[in-house]
Amino acid sequence: MAVVNGARVAAEIEIAALGKVFGQGEAAFHALKNINLKIATGEFFTLLGPSGCGKTTLLRVIAGFEQPSTGALAINGRQVAGQGPNKRPVNTVFQSYALFPHMTVAQNIGFGLKMLGKPRSEIDATVAEMLRLVRMEALAERRPSEISGGQQQRVALARALAPRPRVLLLDEPLSALDLKLRKEMQGELKRLQTETGITFVFVTHDQEEALTMSDRIAVMSAGRILQLGSPDEIYNAPVDRFVADFIGETNFLTLPVAGVSGDQAHLDLPGGTSAPARLPAGLAAAPGSSVTAVIRPEQAEIAPAEGADLTAEVESATFFGTDTHLHLRLSDGQPFILRRQNRPGQPPIAPGTRLGLVLAPGALQVLRD
């Protein structure tokens, strides 16, 4: 069983204490370190991290292109460590698509079923269904070199979905597409996942892509999973400095602890007030010590300086269309970025202006470091 966003559901993939080492002795490189992960059936699960964080290696281990050095890997309740990729009920959409250049679109899509020894009639029916699913019926007899990048992407998806795998692995499948097409394919992927009900494991370095598409996200760095949670948790309650910094823009404040009650700490703010902040599980913050807390730029509002949580001076302002980023210096010298929604007729704020800020309730999150 896997616990997904509070609910208990059947686990499609179970990874326990999994490690992957390349090379030996002095030159050994630990690509994956003690990965523990349960991915639920029908989940859209994302591995997010910068290049070299181990996310693609983890995907390759699940696919069977790499074997784990240590630990266990089960798919649909069966141990698969040691099995080759052709023995696993898992299909991959490759970053380069890897369409077979000497075969037509239809032959590409039918390849998996052909290798499984399915009868001709079943292959034809499934290929037709897949072509319809990815809206490529008109191009069935084309070669991959004769269709566009976005169309190749759809064929790669259809080819991987045709054998109806338990799990679909997607290795940065949208990275080669331009922005407009990428947005379109994000919606398309979500639709395909909902329609087929297949578990998707999606690898990306694009945090926005991860936030918009996923049921859950695992943020990875240096071969470890730093945080695992829903997009909302990852964005609003990062427990790790790397996670907070990697996802979106955020403010890091060093603040003294006034008191602790349960999983909440009360932090003294420079303005003289105090505010509650969530503590990461297992972190004991002693009153009187200092902790690092994060708050997103949109979770503070301008208020009269009298009675405000923070007071600050505006150093510069950057216009972003829908909003303006105000770069502030707090009264205790720490920098702070404030995102202010742009509205018609709203007077601009000039550098040098002194402001008061109030923080949205529950906006502060203490980091583990």
Cα(97)–Cα(168) distance, rounded to whole angstroms? Answer: 14
Tell me the two tokens of residue 231.
């997009």
Which range of residues in 1-9, 12-20, 110-118, 240-248 is near other proteins by CB under 8 A? 110-118
Residue labelled with tokens 């002795």:
25
Which range of residues in 91-99, 120-128, 231-239, 341-349 is near other proteins by CB under 8 A? 91-99
Closer residue to other proteins, CB minimum distance, 100 or 320 = 100
Q: Does 202 bind other proteins (CB under 8 A)?
A: no
Q: Does 91 bind other proteins (CB under 8 A)?
A: yes
x/- site string to other proteins, residues 48 to 67, per CB under 8 A? ---------------xxx--
Cα(247)–Cα(198) distance, rounded to whole angstroms? Answer: 27
Q: Does 119 bind other proteins (CB under 8 A)?
A: no
Which range of residues in 14-22, 80-88, 230-238, 336-344 is near other proteins by CB under 8 A? 80-88
Closer residue to other proteins, CB minimum distance, 163 or 297 = 163
Q: Does 22 bind other proteins (CB under 8 A)?
A: no
Cα(369)–Cα(366) distance, rounded to whole angstroms? Answer: 9
CB-based burial, 37-61: b 16+ in 10 Å, e otherwise = bbbbbbbbbbbbbeeebbbbbbbbb
Closer residue to other proteins, CB minimum distance, 203 or 255 = 203
Using alpha carbons, select from 86, 163, 165 the residue that is nearest to residue 118. Answer: 163
Collapsed DSSP state (helix, strand, coil) of residue 252: strand
**Looking only at residues 250 through 279 of this chain, which bind other proteins when binding is defined by CB under 8 A?**
none
The residue within the footprint of other proteins, chosen from 92, 193, 299, 365 (CB under 8 A), is 92
x/- site string to other proteins, residues 140 to 169, per CB under 8 A? ---x-x-------------xx--x------
List CB contacts of 31: < 8 A, sequence separation 6 or more.
20, 21, 22, 54, 57, 223
The residue within the footprint of other proteins, chosen from 74, 81, 98, 222 (CB under 8 A), is 98
Lay out the sheet containing 354-359: strands in order across: 300-303, 354-359, 310-319, 323-330, 335-341
The residue within the footprint of other proteins, chosen from 41, 94, 222, 283 (CB under 8 A), is 94
Cα(78)–Cα(72) distance, rounded to whole angstroms? Answer: 10
Residue numbers at the binding site for other proteins (CB under 8 A): 63-65, 84-86, 90-92, 94, 96, 98-102, 111-112, 115-116, 143, 145, 159-160, 163
